[in-house]
Amino acid sequence: MKVGSKEFYELMEQFERDFAYDNPVREGKESWKYQHFYSNVNNMFLAYMAGYSLGKSEEDADGASD
């Protein structure tokens, strides 16, 4: 998934809904090239993004074996 893509923005929106109680605060886009997306919950988002990518790759692998 490419940072800045529609899929990426959708993932950010889902993360913000899932973790609304932590009140995620987005960083400016200039920080994204350093993998800094949120000022207060960035490590949680990186883990969330990694889990999403793993799940997507597993799904793709399962689809390839059909």
Half-sphere exposure of 5 (CA within 13 A, CB side): 6
DSSP state of 27: P
pLDDT band at 26 (very low <50, low <70, confident <90, very high): very high
DSSP state of 39: S
Query: CA–CA separation, 22 vs 25, rounded Å?
Result: 9
pLDDT above 70 (res 64): no
**pLDDT tens-digit map of 5-23:** 999 999 999 999 999 999 9
The residue ranges of every structural domain in the chain are 6-59
